[in-house]
Amino acid sequence: MSQEDPDPYIFTSGSLPLDERFLPPLANGLLGWRVFNGIMHMGGVYNGQLGQCHRADIPCPLAATLHPKEPSEHTFTLDTHKGVFIHSVRTAHVSATQSLYAHRYHPHMLVMEVLMERLDTTQEPFTLELNNSFTPHSTDITFQSEPDYKGGSYIKGNTLTPEVSGGALFSVHLIWTPVPGTLTLLSSQTQSRWVFFTVVADSTESAKAFFDTGLQLIAEGDLFPSHCRAWAELWAGCGVELSGPATMSRALVGCLFYLLSAFPFLRDAPPQFGGVSPGGLSNGREGQDYWGHVFWDEDTWMYPNIALFYPPLAKAVLEYRVRTLGGAKENAKQQGYKGLKFPWESAVTGREVCPEDIYGEQEIHINGDVILAFQMYLYLTQDLAMFQEGQGSEVVWGIADYWVSRVTWSAEENCYYINGVMPPDEYYRNVDNSVYTNTVAKLSLQFAVDLASQIGYPAPPEWKRIADTLKIPFDSEAKYHPEFDGYKKGNPVKQADVVLLGYPLGLPMTPEVRRNDLDVYEPVTDPNGPAMTWSMFAVGWLELGEAKKAQEQLSKCFSNIQEPFQVWSECADGSGAVNFLTGMGGFLQSVLFGYTGFRVREKSLYFSPLLPDDITELRVRGVSYLGNKMDWEIKSQEVCVTVREGTETSGKAEHCPLEVVLKSSGRKIPLKPGQAVIIPCQPGEIQKQE
């Protein structure tokens, strides 16, 4: 980046978005808040029973905006290097900066700092007004006041309604330093700083302990520095940067920043991590942004990006699913099937919380989506302990048993059917043999058989028999995959469905069939459908070597990116969920798995790079594989791969020496830590050294 180029990690504007939904969200894997908003959320804290379950609104004491009493200039900046939002005010005599952040290392804490500095030699006092929309009340939590604690105001309460009848209510405790209506720079001062913070916890003891930590950090001058160090550690372990269009660079940084913000810190994944919803932690109020529920969006669209960089954070997603095993078992039982049926919409218990029954009953591909996440983790880490000790195998066996009980045999076609489903394309329901659903079911069963072999589990023979004979719809004359039995070519499609067969599912097919699937479904896909769709068309065209066509598809995503803070909307017209992490995840995958050609396979990390003409170099920092961290620099003619020295991605991951194998020649080149290896820009594999 030259001195003239703007920093793609810093988003700056002289004004705020007219639509407050596109104010930047600040989150840290536990707390989420849209700046200046009077409401925040805490991961895993919901109110309402089953279909009425939604993120519980928690009042935010830091919902204050700066208002000087004289003419002023305003600048608003989101610095993603440090995970801080800054409102800067400048008058003729004084400058003031308001810094807001969700503490990255201490996740129970939100912080506001205000700094005022005198710009001239006048010694008049200067007063700044703070307009605060905070009220200590919630429609979801019965708060009551408690005695102040060390100068902090304190309220506590319980949610009103449990997720399931007879279930536990959530306890929420808030302690915060009160924010006054004005701040004054005294005549004797050239500058002054004020620090306000809020802690949220589930008990009195925890809330007071977190508040004590905040006071200690302030006294030591380490509140903001400790937050910055945590973000620096995250960014040191991952990154996607390119030499090319500035809009593309900003979009990639924004996507990765907001996605990382939805996950806990590296060394301290909290046991209450509640998964990732389409709108992240800052959204999910009753009736909005999918109510804060967790969908396949987490496992299919967001997870692969995180897993490629940070297997420990990916593991937190798997552990969330493990914690919901009981609910998944009950869902299957209620539907009359065996094993596990993970909910289409999930909260805390694993019970189905979708407000409309048909989605929970028919959009059963969620089971296969969950399994693909477990499979990818194993292939990246070889961490069998997650399956033997961490209950991952219970998920795999339970889903396999579900598919066994869900299929029916067709004597006419001599294969198994899965009938009465809704595919990812939600324009259709109660269809038979959704090609996507059947494919993820097949992959689930195959993975169950393979895992059972690895850990010595006696796999029931029907797992393999059904996997081998499950119908995968295919039109042999037109050489394409119909979306389901009876689909008529040319009928409208809501979103990516059949195009997912090639990636991420990896269903074997010829280039001709892959091209036909793209050609058939691209023109009939709803242009106002969800944002992640076009990314998958882009990946498909990149697989076929058509970089120009891929860019045409990827360029459609920019209509969903709302300036100036790179906040995504679900739909191109700005409607739907906001801070749409699903779309961001798809966009990132188009680069991390599209431009690079990365494919996580059982015994290798495959690559097949291809860059469009307007990108001269792609840098992917921190790729994790078998306990190693790799940095990639991809250019049109060559690729540079460097294994970092002294880095291991997870205490559980198998740390193995690696080698690169070039596909065209079969040449094997050892990857020695700290030594760059330059190879031609062509397909190959990273694998364990023989």
The CA-atom distances, in angstroms, between 311 and each of 363, 534, 633, 650, 654 are 28, 27, 21, 7, 12
Half-sphere exposure of 572 (CA within 13 A, CB side): 13
* CA atoms of 539 and 504, how far apart (whole Å): 9
Q: How confident is the model at residue 267 (pLDDT cuts 50, 70, 90)?
A: confident
Strand pairing class (191-201; 239-243): unpaired
Is residue 108 within 8 A of residue 206, CB to CB? The reply is yes
Is residue 222 within 8 A of residue 230, CB to CB? The reply is no
Of 286, 426, 462, 552, catalytic:
426
Query: What's residue 269's pLDDT?
Result: 53
* CA atoms of 442 and 368, how far apart (whole Å): 8
- Quick check: 10 pLDDT over 80? yes
Task: Using a cut of 0.95, tell me whether the model's pTM lies above it.
Answer: yes
**3-state secondary structure at position 513:** helix
Q: Under 8 Å CB-to-CB from 50, ≥6 apart: which residues?
A: 163, 164, 351, 352, 353
Read off the pLDDT of each residue in 371-394 and give the average, rounded to a whole number.
97
- Quick check: 3 pLDDT over 80? no
AA letter at 202: D
Q: Tell me whether residue 654 is one of the annotated catalytic residues.
A: no
The angle formed by the CA atoms of residues 27, 578 and 434, to the nearest 5 degrees, is: 110
Q: Under 8 Å CB-to-CB from 230, ≥6 apart: which residues?
A: 103, 104, 105, 265
Per-residue model confidence as pLDDT tens digits over 193-236: 999 999 999 999 999 999 999 999 999 999 999 999 999 999 99
- Quick check: 2 pLDDT over 50? no
Read off the pLDDT of each residue in 595-603 and give the average, rounded to a whole number.
98
Least confident range of 62-76, 133-147, 646-660: 646-660
Percent of the chain with pLDDT over 90: 94
Which residue, chain included where needed, has tokens 């689909």?
Answer: 487
Is residue 393 within 8 A of residue 614, CB to CB? The reply is no
Query: What's residue 270's pLDDT?
Result: 59
Give phi and psi for 485, each to the nearest 5: -60, 125
| Helical (H) or strand (E) element with 147 | strand 141-149
ω into 670 cis (within 30 of 0): no
The mean pLDDT value of the chain amounts to 95
Output the CA torsion sign for 200, 205, 209, 214: positive
Across the beta sheet with 684-688, the strand order is 599-600, 605-607, 684-688, 658-662, 668-671
Read off the pLDDT of each residue in 49-78 and give the average, rounded to a whole number.
95
Query: What's residue 70's pLDDT?
Result: 87
ω into 504 cis (within 30 of 0): yes
Read off the pLDDT of each residue in 94-98 and give the average, rounded to a whole number.
96
Query: What's residue 651's pLDDT?
Result: 47
Strand pairing class (408-410; 561-562): unpaired
Per-residue model confidence as pLDDT tens digits over 530-584: 999 999 999 999 999 999 999 999 999 999 999 999 999 999 999 999 999 999 9
Strand pairing class (677-680; 239-243): unpaired
Is residue 461 within 8 A of residue 412, CB to CB? The reply is no
Query: What's residue 88's pLDDT?
Result: 97
Per-residue model confidence as pLDDT tens digits over 425-439: 999 999 999 999 999
Read off the pLDDT of each residue in 357-374 and give the average, rounded to a whole number.
98
The CA-atom distances, in angstroms, between 214 and each of 112, 164, 208 are 12, 35, 10
Per-residue model confidence as pLDDT tens digits over 626-669: 999 999 999 999 999 999 998 655 545 567 999 999 999 999 99
The CA-atom distances, in angstroms, between 364 and each of 177, 199, 284, 367, 407 are 47, 39, 23, 6, 12
Query: What's residue 652's pLDDT?
Result: 58
* CA atoms of 299 and 367, how far apart (whole Å): 10
Q: How confident is the model at residue 69 (pLDDT cuts 50, 70, 90)?
A: confident
- Quick check: 22 pLDDT over 90? yes
Q: How confident is the model at residue 505 (pLDDT cuts 50, 70, 90)?
A: very high
Chain Cα centroid distance, residue 314? 10
Query: What's residue 653's pLDDT?
Result: 59
Read off the pLDDT of each residue in 247-265 and give the average, rounded to a whole number.
97
Query: What's residue 599's pLDDT?
Result: 98
Query: What's residue 23's pLDDT?
Result: 97
* CA atoms of 123 and 126, how far apart (whole Å): 9
Q: Which of 518, 521, 533, 540 is nearest to 572 (CA)?
A: 533
Query: What's residue 122's pLDDT?
Result: 83
AA letter at 279: G
Residue 220 exposed, middle or buried by CB count within 10 Å (0-12, 13-18, 19+): exposed
The CA-atom distances, in angstroms, between 593 and each of 258, 392, 598, 617 are 19, 25, 5, 15
Which residue, chain included where needed, has tokens 């969800």?
Answer: 530
The CA-atom distances, in angstroms, between 461 and each of 404, 458, 464 are 11, 9, 6
Percent of the chain with pLDDT over 70: 98
- Quick check: 327 pLDDT over 70? yes
Query: What's residue 238's pLDDT?
Result: 97
Q: How confident is the model at residue 1 (pLDDT cuts 50, 70, 90)?
A: very low
Read off the pLDDT of each residue in 294-301 and give the average, rounded to a whole number.
98
Query: What's residue 227's pLDDT?
Result: 98
| Entry field: residues in the chain | 690
More confident call, 68 vs 97? 97
Chain Cα centroid distance, residue 132? 31
